[in-house]
Amino acid sequence: MVSFKYLALVSLIGSAHSLSLHSTFGYFNQALDLFRTQPDQSFVNIAPPNHDTEPIPGDSPLEKCDVAEVQLLTLEEINLLPNPPQAGANLTFTATGIVGKTIEPGAYVDVDVRYGFIKLIHQTFDLCEEIEKVDLECPINKGTQVITKIVEIPEEVPPGRYIVNARAYTKDDEYITCLTAIIDFPIVRS
């Protein structure tokens, strides 16, 4: 009987391809009820995590993520020119924010880049090394900071949807900020 229970649950998982994850989670709970599993026993929690975001003022696809968490950086404005970014064109990035505490060397940024559902990059960068590329240096002093950077977007960027997430932390693992963006590079027809 126990193996039938798990076989039924596996069948339910396999047939749920057209259902959302949240709906599938509801069906799991119903299936567990049918097999008289105790309600406090959880089989699998596949509900997506709560990714709370809010827009950042300005003209960019960037949003602040994990807004319920205390973060050291308050972003006042981010602008991209052009927005959306275009393959083969220069991109001007300008950001203004208020740093709530001096950020010392040893701070880092965890970056994830996905192409649709395919993870392209999962890497940790030294924040102080990266910040030098925008003419700042560590320590980053408490107070208002303005960053302007021009970068070249290669012409060879494959068309499609890119999802970028970046979470920055101090050397003591205090949350500096969380940024997320969805950027679509269209198919260029000649």
Residue from 117, 115, 122, 190 nearest 160 by CA: 115
What pLDDT is recorded for position 24?
33
Which amino acid type is present at position 136?
Answer: L
Tokens representing 121 are 């990059």
**119 against 24, higher pLDDT:** 119
Dihedral sign from CA coordinates of 47, 49, 50, 54: negative
Domain chopping of the chain, boundaries: 1-48, 53-185
Nearest to 48 by CA among 66, 29, 22: 22
51: left (phi over 0), alpha (psi -120 to 50) or beta: beta
pTM over 0.85: no
Q: Indicate the pairing of strand 118-126 with strand 175-185.
A: unpaired
The Cα–Cα gap between 169 and 158 comes to 31
pLDDT digits (tens, 9 = 90+) for 120-174: 999 999 999 999 988 889 999 999 999 999 999 999 999 999 999 999 999 999 9
> What's the pLDDT tens digit per position in 20-38?
333 333 433 444 343 444 4
Q: How many residues are given for the chain?
A: 190
> Which carries the bigger pLDDT value, residue 41 or residue 82?
82
Question: Mean pLDDT across the stretch 8-30?
Answer: 36
Contacts by 55-61, CB closer than 8 A, 24 or more apart: 56/179, 59/83, 60/181, 61/181, 61/182, 61/183
Given a contact cutoff of 8 angstroms between Cβ atoms, the answer to whether 61 and 84 are in contact is yes
Asked if 138 and 130 count as a contact pair (C-beta separation under 8 A), the reply is no
How far is residue 99's CA from residue 110's CA, in Å, rounded to a whole number? 19
What is 53-185's CATH number? 2.70.220.10
pLDDT band, residue 8 (cuts 50/70/90): very low
d(CA 116, CA 163): 7
Mind listing the pLDDT tens digit for each residue in 41-63? 433 333 344 459 999 999 999 99
Query: Which long-range contacts does 52-57 make (Cβ < 8 Å, 24+ apart)?
Result: 53/180, 56/179
How much is the pLDDT for 4?
33
Mean pLDDT within 90-114 = 97
